Amino acid sequence: MSKKNLTTEKSAKKTLRTQIENTLFSTFEDLKSKVGEKKFSRHVKKASKILAAGAKDAKPKKVKKAAKPTKAAKAEKAAEHTLVKK
From first to last of the 86 residues of the chain, give the pLDDT tens digit: 455 555 556 678 888 999 999 999 999 999 988 999 999 999 999 999 998 888 776 665 666 777 776 777 777 777 776 755 55
- The CA-CA-CA angle for residues 30, 35, 39, to 5°, reads 120
Alpha carbon distances (Å) from 43 to 14, 23, 49, 55: 17, 13, 10, 19
pLDDT tens-digit readout, 21-43 = 999 999 999 998 899 999 999 99
Q: Return left, alpha or beta for 36; rule: phi > 0 is left, psi -120 to 50 is alpha, else beta.
A: left
Distance from C-alpha of 68 to C-alpha of 65, rounded to nearest angstrom:
9
Q: What is the pLDDT of residue 61?
A: 63
Backbone angles phi and psi of 78, in degrees to 5: -65, -35
What global pTM score does this model have?
0.53
